[in-house]
Structure 1
Amino acid sequence: MISPSHIKQYDVAGPRYTSYPTADRFVEAFTEDAYIQALAQRRVSRWTQPLSIYVHIPFCESLCFYCACNKIITKQHKKSTEYLRYLSREIDLNIAHLGRGQTVTQLHLGGGSPTFFSDEELTELMTMIRHHFELPITGEYSIEIDPRTVDAQRLAHLAALGFNRLSFGVQDFDEEVQKAVHRIQPAEQVFDLTKAARQLGFNSINVDLIYGLPKQSTESFKRTLDQVVELKPDRVALYAYAHLPERFKPQRRISQYELPSAATKISMLSDAISTLMQAGYIYIGMDHFALPTDALAIAKKQGRLHRNFQGYSTQADSDLIGLGVSSIGRIGATYSQNAKGLAEYYDHIDQGHLPVARGLALSRDDLIRRAVIMAIMCHGELQYESIELSYMIRFNEYFSQELTALKEKEQAGMLTMEQDGFKVTEMGWFFVRAIAMVFDRYLQIDTNRARFSKII
């Protein structure tokens, strides 16, 4: 049972660890040249790691007050036509160093609202990607959907383009909550689209939910959960709302007095876990649930889970090419991020340069700690021997301070420690980010965590 003292002590700000080191550690000293070198190394060495592509489409027609994404609010669809031209040129710049014909096993379109693109523009985008890369029929090709922007006919077009996974942005079915965050979409609309998607044969349908939004209560969110169980998507992504109005201007329209307390958020999360598991979902970890037949649940069972910049993934050690404004990529032992502003992104490409604005070349210590943190976040346990054999260290010596710090978490009931490893408890999953933070060297030397969201 989680006590009020646990909440008070451990509901602190911290990273979500979609990467380690986290993106706030990227530096401008990592330039286009460093990224090009990483691409060239992959090309020359013919690495066998899978290759993923993420395309960021930043446009939305209306503003959701909770949103912390890099987005551009506009109803001028001619902007997407111009953006598509620059995406084409960015792909060409990448191919010049990577080479054509590499196999892509995962493709994800995120935003913003990818369905801001017209059917014709989405067709053009997929055509240019297929022209340069091999997309096997067995790959995972997903797109984020704003239910207000599609109908059954558009879903059929997405299926014809090769997309086999959809993610519907729902957040909450409660009408009062929807009004409070400026995102009105009737539940019937999502149910109809989900039915159409199943009839079209999509392999996996995901629903995004957010707990901790204004006007939410334990009772109202329980009603939303019951509707989700009735909808029965293959996956559910359940995110905690991060209220950071000093960083994200749209959130200033949300009154902090309408936000649920940390204790209420704990109750919402607990209800979600129990409700979804009783409905047959596998708790993947932290913020993801999946039906036993879904690839994500199978990957967890087989020990193949990984975390990337989109959350939990079925493919470990996958290189990632990020396309579009603000996109983040990972090639080998490097991270890179494109320019965050549209004008700067366009300017780089107009000058014939890849739009890399910052990044990071990982040190050996980064790689060791990344392996530890990902094991905690993905599997909820760690065997010291696996790290020792991979990196030729003595775990107890290398992490002596961290193991001492973990004893406090063990006393709090978050994990059980043994001579050869440790395992996160059921209660510890609520605070798994706090456990992972123990191994974050950057947080050890920088205690300013105001830029991160609260754990709960």
Structure 2
Amino acid sequence: MNTLSLLEKYCRPGPRYTSYPPAPHFHTGFTDADWRAELEAQRDSGRDLSLYVHIPFCDTLCWYCGCNMVATRDYGRAQRYLEDLFQEIERVAELVPPRRRVRQMHWGGGTPTFLRPEDLERLWRRLAAAFHFADGAELGCEVDPRELTYEHVAALKALGFNRISLGVQDLDPEVQRAVNRVQPEALIVRVYDWLRAAGFSSINLDLMVGLPRQTVAGFAATLETVVALRPDRLALFNYAHVPWMKRHQRLIPEAELPDFATRIGLQALSLERLTGAGYVYIGMDHYALPGDELVLAQRAKTLQRNFQGYTTHRDCDVLAFGASAISQTEEVYAQNLKKLSAYRARLQAGRLATERGWRLSFEDRLRRDAIRRIMCDLELDLAAFAQDWGVDLDERCGCREPLRQLAADGLVTLEGDRLRVTGVGRWFLRNIAMVFDGYLPHAQDPAPRYSKTV
């Protein structure tokens, strides 16, 4: 079966598996009291911590955006939000003993650098006072080049941040106008040079395919510039057009979206140009230079996947702060209230900000482990896995026949009990993982919950 036929067959809605079960299954029966109880139960845990902080503000609305964000020019809203964040940080920190070290932290949004440099420092000081950071902790921040100043760059470096993720998406001016995100190539290059000059040794660029007015020729020019910059990592996301979930995406005329053949061409071009330039295709939408920690972790089979995508911090619980942020332990997911007014009201009432969550069953943990290993290791010894978990895997998941079908289409190989994802199969990791999803066959929603897999 050729690639076009495969894409037509397997391009259907499916989760990205940044959690299992995926976030749409979380429920409000899991409350802030349950999250408090989980934190107290984990006081003696030997697991270290990863922190996530959500800053939802942006100056302008990008029409493709799928994040929980607020477009505003009123900086007072950000200052009020910071005070709420400080309350949440202190309330959670009271339940976490200082021996649990922070090995990783990421600030996302929205745009964290919507905050002024002095407020970035205030936020960092509150976190540093509340938690014990390990020496050499990975500290990352997302930045919007349109809002970034050199003072922001200097502040982040002075605070100890060592990883930066820069939103580029596409350098074609026509595409930028079509999504209301105009940022000339010269601006991107200037900001990138600031970051390198400041000493940031790990820079990620976010790109996106499937945007309105995108062409293969236009995106080839974007890739040429990006490859010349030589970022350490690249995230190449597929635009998820979900106007039933994100109403502002209705501003994008569907007639301007690239057709199926063009989307395939964009992905094929990206794979060819980036691997040809020496980047390793991790899987899903991530590329990295050969010496990057993501590549080394994948080879060592210690790569992990969570709500920030791929990560090297496998043995960490995630404590997440801010509206809509999702925390997780080995057995629990807990998501905060999404609306800023509700988030503030909850904290002012002296409670944790949790709105909904999920406590994993044995079945959930089993299936999550299988999905993680496929998406991170790109292989799975089915017999050894079943023995580790003490189950008959096919009896539990009914996976053998679907895997044989995937093998017949060339997405995986099955040598005895060893499953391996093929080069072509890396495009379809979500589809392969869906074999082990126990919730998809029972989904009853009339509207799709997920974007298309390819």
The corresponding residue for 1:136 is 134
Secondary structure in 2 matching 1:304:
coil
The corresponding residue for 1:34 is 34
Return the letter of the residue paired with 2:405. Answer: E
The whole-number CA distance in structure 1 between the counterparts of 2:204 and 2:193 is 13
Pairing 1:246–2:235 present: no
The corresponding residue for 1:166 is 164
Query: TM-score of the superposition, structure 1-length normalised?
Result: 0.97
The CA deviation at 1:177 is 0.3
Secondary structure in 2 matching 1:352:
coil
The CA deviation at 1:98 is 1.9
Could you list the per-position Cα deviations for residues 384-416 of structure 1 after superposition, in whole angstroms to 9, with x for gaps in the alignment?
2442243212334433x2211221111111111
1:51–1:389 CA distance, 2 compared to 1 (3 A):
farther
Return the letter of the residue paired with 1:437. Answer: M
Could you list the per-position Cα deviations for residues 66-115 of structure 1 after superposition, in whole angstroms to 9, with x for gaps in the alignment?
00111111101011111111111001111222234531111000000100
Q: Which residues of 2 match residues 261-410 of structure 1 at below 5 A?
A: 261-399=259-397, 401-410=398-407
The whole-number CA distance in structure 2 between the counterparts of 1:7 and 1:420 is 26
The corresponding residue for 2:452 is 454
The CA deviation at 1:382 is 0.6
Q: Which residues of 2 match residues 89-238 of structure 1 at below 5 A?
A: 89-100=87-98, 102-238=100-236
Aligned 8 A contact 2:113 2:152 in 1:
no
Could you list the per-position Cα deviations for residues 308-360 of structure 1 after superposition, in whole angstroms to 9, with x for gaps in the alignment?
10111111142101100000010230000000101110111010000100000
The whole-number CA distance in structure 2 between the counterparts of 1:18 and 1:260 is 26
Return the letter of the residue paired with 1:7. Answer: L
The corresponding residue for 1:443 is 440
Aligned 8 A contact 1:42 1:332 in 2:
no
The CA deviation at 1:418 is 2.2
Aligned 8 A contact 1:18 1:310 in 2:
yes
Identity of aligned residues (%): 41
The corresponding residue for 2:76 is 78
The whole-number CA distance in structure 2 between the counterparts of 1:165 and 1:138 is 12
Pairing 1:18–2:25 present: no
Return the letter of the residue paired with 1:443. Answer: L
Aligned 8 A contact 2:47 2:100 in 1:
no
Return the letter of the residue paired with 2:185. Answer: A
Aligned Cα RMSD in Å?
Answer: 1.4
The corresponding residue for 1:418 is 415
Query: TM-score of the superposition, structure 2-length normalised?
Result: 0.97
Return the letter of the residue paired with 1:29. Answer: G
The CA deviation at 1:433 is 0.6
The corresponding residue for 1:62 is 60
The whole-number CA distance in structure 1 between the counterparts of 2:5 and 2:152 is 50
Return the letter of the residue paired with 1:402. Answer: C
The whole-number CA distance in structure 2 between the counterparts of 1:443 and 1:359 is 18
Aligned 8 A contact 1:7 1:263 in 2:
no
1:451–1:368 CA distance, 2 compared to 1 (3 A):
same
The CA deviation at 1:154 is 2.0
Aligned 8 A contact 2:106 2:141 in 1:
yes
The whole-number CA distance in structure 2 between the counterparts of 1:2 and 1:257 is 27
Aligned 8 A contact 1:368 1:387 in 2:
no
Pairing 1:431–2:428 present: yes
The CA deviation at 1:152 is 2.6
The CA deviation at 1:283 is 0.8
Aligned 8 A contact 1:104 1:139 in 2:
yes
Structure 2 gaps of 5+ residues are none
Return the letter of the residue paired with 2:15. Answer: P
Structure 1 gaps of 5+ residues are none
Return the letter of the residue paired with 1:230. Answer: A
